[in-house]
C-alpha cells in the first residue's frame, strides 16, 4: 500500500526534480518505508512505499521489467501467488516475491486484459516504452484512489488531492459538488471533486495517456456480472457456496509479511470477519489475532458489549479506544486535512481513531467490513425495494415481518417507502430544509441522480449496482482509504472481493432479506462463528460517534460559519441561524475545509 505520483509536461520539457519530489512527499505517510523516482524526457514518476509483501529493497518502486515498462503502484493483488504460478508456465521468472513484479509480467503477457486476472485493489500507472503510453488503472470498486489534473502545462496524477494542489495556480471550489453534498448528502457520485478541475478516475476504468499527442482516453473495463443460475439455487446450496467464497476472501486478505489485525465494531459484518480471520490466524500463528474497537461515550450507541462477546468467543487480543469530546475537537482539523474534502458527519472521526490506535500498537494491516451492507441489503432503506419486488399477496406479510425484525416502526417503514421512491418529494424536502441556500445555487441540485436512485428501487440488483458504483460505496471507500493511509495502515475489505460481490448480488433476494431479517445468508454463516446474540442483532449501529454530545460542544463555533466567504456566497447567514443546529455540521465542515485548504469561491 503506497502513494503514487506522475507528472507529464505537455510542452515536452523535462520535469524539475524538486516538483515530482514535492508532490510525492506530500503523501509520505502513505509510504514511510521507502521513496523512489523515475525521470524520462517530459515524464516523471514518484512513489512512497508502505512495505507489506516482500519487505526487501528489491521490491521498491518505481519498478521496471526489462526496461520496457515502469510502474508506480498502490494496492494489493491478493491472488498474486496464483497469477505468478500461471506466468511461470509461460516462461516468466521473478526476482522478487512482490505482487508489483507480477503486475508487470502480467501486463507484458496479456496487455491491458491482465486486469481480469487480478483479485485485489489497485491504482497504478505503467509507462509502456514500446507504445509510448501511460497505462493507468483503478480497481473494480474504487477501493484505491486515483486523482488527476489536466491544467496549464501539466497533466498530473496521484493518490490524493493535496498532491495536485501543489501545482495548481488557483484553488477554487466546485460549487456543483458542494451544493449536492450540502443539500442531498451526496459525495463522490461523479468524477468531479470539491476542487475545480481536479477529477477522480472512476472505479473499473482505465486511463491511457498518449505521450506523443498529449491526449488521453478513459474506458470502463469491468461491469458487475450477475449469474442468473445462482438465483435459482436453494438455500441449502447457496449457503455453502457463499461461505466458501467469504472464507476465501478473508484468507486472501491475510496474506502479508507484516502483522494483520481487524476493525471490530460489534456489528454483524466486522464480527464475522474478525471471527473467521481469527480462526485462520490461529492455524498459522501462535499469537492471538488483534481487534481494534472505538467505543462511544454515549451509552445509546455504544456497541462495546457486543464487541466484547466476539472477543471472548474468538479469543482475540482486544484494543479499545474511547474518544472524548475534547479529542474530537483536537483532531477535527486533522481529519479535515486527512479527508481533503468536506465529509458526511462526525462519525468519520471514530474510524480515524481506530486506525490511529492501530498504528500506535504496531499494526500495518487491518481488515474491515465495508461492502457487507451494500452487497446483502443490510440497510432498512432497502426494504421498499424488496417490497416492490413481491407479489401483492406477500407484501402485507413481509411488511409485518420487517417491522418485527428491525428497529423500524410501521410509520418509519412507510416513510422510508415514500421518501426513497418519490424523487420529487425527496428533493422538495431537502430544499425546504436548506432554504437558506440562495436560489442561484440551489439550482445546482442534481435532480437526475435522485430520479436515478428512486427508479432503481424497482429493480433490487440495479439499485445495488448503482450504490456500488455511485451513490453509497464511493464516499465510504474514500473515508476508509484516507483515514487508514494517514496512519500508514493498509485497510483490506473482504466483502469487496469481486467474486464474493458478484455472488452476493446474484443470490435470490429472499436470501438477503428473509422474514424481515436483513443479510439473512450472512446471519446463517454467523451462527457458526459468533454468538447468536451477534448473528441475530436488530439494532444496527456501526462505528457511530456520540454526535449529539460532540456537536453540543460546538454551538459557539457558529462564528466560523459566519466568517466563511464560500458560505456567505451561497447562503443567507441570517437564515442559517434559524435552522436546527444539527444542520450546521456540514456548514461548519465546509468553513473549516475552506480555511484549511485556502479555497476560493470566486
CA R_g for the chain: 24
* 320 assigned to active site: no
Question: Which of 208, 51, 57, 49 has the alpha carbon at shortest distance from 137?
Answer: 208
CA angle 323, 325, 328 (to 5 degrees): 70
Q: What is the DSSP string of 320-346?
A: EE---HHHHHHHHHHHHHHH-S--S-T
Residue 401, SS3? helix
**Residue whose cell numbers read 502479508:** 256
CA angle 347, 349, 353 (to 5 degrees): 125
* Biggest CA pair distance of the chain: 72
d(CA 565, CA 568): 5
d(CA 3, CA 488): 10
d(CA 69, CA 293): 42
Enumerate the H helices of 285-422 as residue ranges: 304-314, 325-339, 347-360, 372-376, 383-388, 392-404, 410-421
d(CA 542, CA 183): 24
CA 42 from chain center: how many Å?
Answer: 33
d(CA 445, CA 135): 35
pLDDT of residue 268: 96
* Cβ neighbours of residue 229 closer than 8 Å, sequence gap 6 or more: none
Q: What is the DSSP string of 211-232?
A: TTTTEEEEEE---PPP-HHHHT
Residues of the chain falling short of pLDDT 70: 1, 540-556, 581-582
* Cβ neighbours of residue 48 closer than 8 Å, sequence gap 6 or more: 2, 3, 4, 24, 25, 27, 28, 30, 31, 32, 34, 35
pLDDT of residue 447: 95
**Residue whose cell numbers read 498518449:** 210
**Residue whose cell numbers read 461461505:** 243
The helix (H) or strand (E) run that includes residue 143 is none
| Domain ranges (residues) in the chain | 2-220, 228-376+459-535
Q: Which CATH superfamily is domain 2-220 in?
A: Aminohydrolase, N-terminal nucleophile (Ntn) domain (3.60.20.10)
pLDDT of residue 3: 97
CA angle 523, 526, 527 (to 5 degrees): 95
- 228-376+459-535 folds as Rossmann fold (3.40.50)
Q: At what angle do helices 473-486 and 325-339 cross, to 10 degrees?
A: 100
Asked if 60 contacts 34 with a C-beta cutoff of 8 angstroms, the reply is yes
Residue 43, SS3? strand
> Which residue is catalytic, options 2, 114, 136, 290?
2
Proportion of the chain above pLDDT 70, given as a percent: 96
User: Burial, 504: exposed, middle or buried (Cβ in 10 Å; 0-12, 13-18, 19+)?
Assistant: buried
Task: Name the grid cell of 277.
Answer: 480471520
3-state helix, strand, coil in the chain (%, to 5): 50, 20, 35
User: Burial, 182: exposed, middle or buried (Cβ in 10 Å; 0-12, 13-18, 19+)?
Assistant: buried
Q: Please give the DSSP secondary-structure letter assigned to residue 368.
A: -
Q: Write the CA distances from 136 to 293, 299, 322, 439, integer angstroms.
A: 36, 47, 41, 40
Q: Please give the DSSP secondary-structure letter assigned to residue 16.
A: P
* Cβ neighbours of residue 287 closer than 8 Å, sequence gap 6 or more: 317
d(CA 453, CA 239): 30
Asked if 69 contacts 104 with a C-beta cutoff of 8 angstroms, the reply is yes
For 18, other C-beta atoms within 10 Å of its C-beta total: 7
d(CA 364, CA 555): 37
d(CA 48, CA 474): 24
Question: Which of 120, 367, 372 has the alpha carbon at shortest distance from 254?
Answer: 367
Task: Please give the model's pTM, rounded to 2 decimal places.
Answer: 0.95
The helix (H) or strand (E) run that includes residue 70 is strand 69-77
For 520, other C-beta atoms within 10 Å of its C-beta total: 21
pLDDT of residue 394: 78
Could you tell me which residues are beta bridge partners of residue 544?
A: none
Amino acid at each position: 500500500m503506497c502513494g503514487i505520483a506522475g507528472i507529464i509536461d505537455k510542452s515536452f520539457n523535462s520535469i524539475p526534480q524538486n516538483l515530482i519530489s514535492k508532490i510525492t512527499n506530500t503523501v509520505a505517510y502513505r509510504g514511510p518505508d521507502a521513496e523512489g523516482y523515475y525521470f524520462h524526457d517530459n515524464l516523471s514518476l514518484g512513489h512512497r512505499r508502505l512495505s507489506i509483501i516482500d519487505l526487501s529493497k528489491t521490491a521498491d518502486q518505481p519498478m521496471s521489467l526489462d526496461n520496457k515498462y515502469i510502474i508506480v503502484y498502490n494496492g494489493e493483488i491478493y491472488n498474486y501467488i496464483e497469477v505468478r504460478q500461471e506466468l511461470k508456465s509461460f516462461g516468466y521468472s521473478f526476482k522478487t516475491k512482490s505482487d508489483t513484479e507480477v503486475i508487470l509480467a502480467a501486463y507484458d503477457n496479456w496487455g491491458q486484459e491482465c486486469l481480469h486476472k487480478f483479485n485485489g485493489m489497485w491504482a497504478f500507472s505503467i509507462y509502456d516504452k514500446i507504445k509510448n503510453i501511460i497505462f493507468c488503472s483503478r480497481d473494480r470498486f474504487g477501493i484505491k484512489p486515483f486523482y488527476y489534473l489536466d491544467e496549464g502545462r501539466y497533466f498530473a496524477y496521484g493518490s490524493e488531492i493535496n498532491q495536485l494542489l501543489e501545482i495548481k495556480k488557483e484553488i477554487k471550489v466546485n460549487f456543483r459538488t458542494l451544493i449536492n453534498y450540502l443539500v442531498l448528502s451526496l459525495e463522490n457520485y461523479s468524477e468531479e471533486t470539491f476542487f475545480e478541475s481536479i477529477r477522480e478516475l472512476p472505479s473499473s476504468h482505465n486511463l491511457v495517456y498518449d505521450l506523443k499527442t498529449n491526449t488521453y482516453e478513459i474506458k470502463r473495463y469491468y461491469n458487475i456480472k450477475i449469474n442468473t443460475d445462482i438465483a435459482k439455487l436453494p438455500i441449502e446450496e447457496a449457503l455453502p457456496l457463499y461461505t466458501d467464497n467469504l472464507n476465501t476472501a478473508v484468507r486472501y486478505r491475510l496474506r502479508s509479511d507484516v502483522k494483520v489485525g481487524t476493525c471490530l465494531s460489534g456489528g454483524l459484518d466486522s464480527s464475522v470477519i474478525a471471527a473467521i480471520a481469527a480462526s485462520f490466524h490461529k492455524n498459522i500463528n501462535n499469537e492471538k489475532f488483534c481487534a481494534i474497537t472505538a467505543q462511544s461515550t454515549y451509552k445509546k450507541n455504544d456497541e462495546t458489549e457486543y464487541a466484547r462477546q466476539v472477543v471472548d468467543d474468538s479469543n482475540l487480543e482486544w484494543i479499545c479506544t474511547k474518544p472524548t469530546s475534547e479529542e474530537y475537537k483536537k483532531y477535527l482539523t486533522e481529519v479535515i486535512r486527512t479527508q481533503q474534502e468536506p465529509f458526511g458527519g462526525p462519525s468519520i472521526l471514530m474510524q480515524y481513531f481506530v486506525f490511529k490506535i492501530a498504528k500506535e500498537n504496531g499494526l500495518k494491516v487491518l481488515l474491515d467490513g465495508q461492502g457487507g451492507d451494500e452487497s446483502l441489503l443490510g440497510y432498512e432503506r432497502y426494504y421498499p425495494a424488496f417490497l416492490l419486488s413481491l407479489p401483492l399477496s406477500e407484501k402485507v406479510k413481509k411488511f409485518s415481518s420487517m417491522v418485527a425484525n428491525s428497529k423500524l416502526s410501521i410509520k418509519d417503514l412507510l416513510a422510508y417507502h415514500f421518501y426513497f421512491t418519490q424523487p420529487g418529494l425527496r428533493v422538495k424536502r431537502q430544499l425546504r430544509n436548506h432554504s437558506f441556500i440562495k436560489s442561484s445555487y440551489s439550482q445546482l441540485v442534481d435532480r437526475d441522480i435522485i430520479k436515478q436512485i428512486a427508479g432503481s428501487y424497482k429493480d433490487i440488483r440495479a439499485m445495488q449496482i448503482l450504490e456500488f458504483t455511485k451513490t453509497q460505496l464511493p464516499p465510504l471507500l474514500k473515508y476508509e482509504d484516507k483515514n487508514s493511509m494517514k496512519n500508514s495502515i493498509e485497510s483490506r475489505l473482504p466483502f469487496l472481493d469481486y467474486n464474493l460481490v458478484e455472488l452476493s448480488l446474484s443470490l435470490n433476494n429472499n436470501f438477503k432479506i428473509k422474514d424481515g431479517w436483513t443479510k439473512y445468508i450472512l446471519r446463517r454463516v454467523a451462527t457458526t462463528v459468533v454468538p447468536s446474540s451477534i448473528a441475530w442483532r436488530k439494532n444496527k449501529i456501526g462505528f457511530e460517534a456520540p454526535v449529539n454530545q460532540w456537536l453540543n460542544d460546538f454551538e459557539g463555533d457558529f462564528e466560523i460559519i459566519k466568517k466563511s466567504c464560500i458560505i456567505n456566497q451561497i447562503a443567507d447567514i441570517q437564515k442559517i441561524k434559524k435552522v436546527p443546529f444539527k444542520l450546521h455540521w456540514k456548514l461548519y465542515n465546509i468553513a473549516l475545509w475552506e480555511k484549511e485548504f485556502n479555497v476560493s469561491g470566486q
